[in-house]
């Protein structure tokens, strides 16, 4: 077993222990959404300008996106990407850019990835956001609201998201 597999196995066990201690109902804020954080994979963010789509549909100006991409020596350090190398063996994020992103108290955090992903799930869990939304079937303990939609159907996902946010009075019609 190589070191990266060993590290991931250790982080997975630690993450699952933390997940057990999370409350069944995530605490939420009743405030109107003014800022949005987005966590996704590099494959999704490179195909679609997800940040622009969110700003158009929700009518919000302040949004930030952070994407996970596999570590490659040729990739430069980016304020929009993180990799498995940015998480230490204790499960803490060590790159300053992702730490600042996770500490920012967004009114809405969108976890836009379709399958279990240790590093993205850990980032969602550690985020200081007050309302977290994600794709159904990933990890229901992490989100206040889950939407059943395929990541390829971005417009449909955003339409559903806006509808639910209007019902909850988090955005204006």
Instruction: Write the pLDDT tens digit of every residue in 42-55.
Output: 887 777 777 888 88
Alpha-carbon span 36 to 13, nearest angstrom: 30
Q: Which of 114-118, 130-134, 141-145 has the lowest mean pLDDT?
A: 114-118
What pLDDT, on a 0 to 100 scale, did the predictor assign at position 18?
Answer: 74
Tokens read off for 75: 């990739």
Cβ 138 vs Cβ 36: under 8 Å: no
Cβ 147 vs Cβ 136: under 8 Å: yes
- What is the arithmetic mean of pLDDT over 69-91? 77
Residue 27 has pLDDT above 70, yes or no: no
At 106, phi and psi to the nearest 5?
Answer: -60, 150
% of the chain with per-residue pLDDT over 90: 4
Select from 2.30.30, 3.40.50, 1.10.540, 1.10.10 the CATH code of 3-167: 3.40.50
Q: Which of 50, 173, 29 is nearest to 110 (CA)?
A: 50
> How is 6-75 classified by DSSP, letter by letter?
HHHHHHHHHHHHHHHTS-SS-----SPP-EEEEEEEHHHHHHS-HHHHHHHHHT-SEEEEEEE----TTS
What pLDDT, on a 0 to 100 scale, did the predictor assign at position 150?
Answer: 80
Output the CA–CA distances (angstroms, integers) from residue 24 to 21, 38, 115, 117, 153, in the order listed: 9, 23, 20, 20, 28
At 132, phi and psi to the nearest 5?
Answer: -115, 135
Domain boundaries, the chain: 3-167
What pLDDT, on a 0 to 100 scale, did the predictor assign at position 76?
Answer: 67
Q: Which of 6-20, 117-131, 148-162 has the lowest mean pLDDT?
A: 6-20
What pLDDT, on a 0 to 100 scale, did the predictor assign at position 20?
Answer: 74
What pLDDT, on a 0 to 100 scale, did the predictor assign at position 32?
Answer: 82
Side-chain-side CA neighbours of 110 within 13 Å: the count stands at: 28
Q: What global pTM score does this model have?
A: 0.84
Question: How many residues are there in the chain?
Answer: 173
Q: Which of 73, 94, 68, 102 is nearest to 83 (CA)?
A: 68
Alpha-carbon span 154 to 51, nearest angstrom: 11
């Amino acid at each position: 077993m190589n070191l990266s597999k060993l590290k991931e196995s250790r982080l997975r066990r630690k993450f699952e222990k933390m997940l057990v201690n999370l409350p069944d109902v995530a605490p939420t804020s009743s405030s109107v959404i003014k800022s949005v954080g987005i966590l996704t994979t590099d494959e999704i963010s490179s195909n679609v300008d997800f940040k622009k789509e969110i700003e158009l549909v929700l009518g919000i100006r302040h949004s930030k996106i952070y994407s996970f991409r596999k570590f490659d020596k040729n990739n430069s350090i980016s304020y929009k990407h993180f990799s498995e190398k940015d998480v230490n063996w204790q499960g803490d994020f060590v790159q300053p850019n992702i730490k600042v992103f996770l500490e920012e108290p967004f009114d809405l955090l969108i976890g836009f990835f379709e399958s279990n992903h240790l590093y993205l799930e850990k980032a969602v869990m550690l985020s200081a956001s007050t309302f977290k939304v994600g794709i159904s079937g990933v990890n229901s303990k992490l989100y206040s609201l889950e939407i059943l939609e395929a990541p390829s159907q971005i417009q449909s996902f955003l339409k559903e998201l806006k509808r639910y946010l209007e019902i909850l009075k988090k955005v204006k019609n």
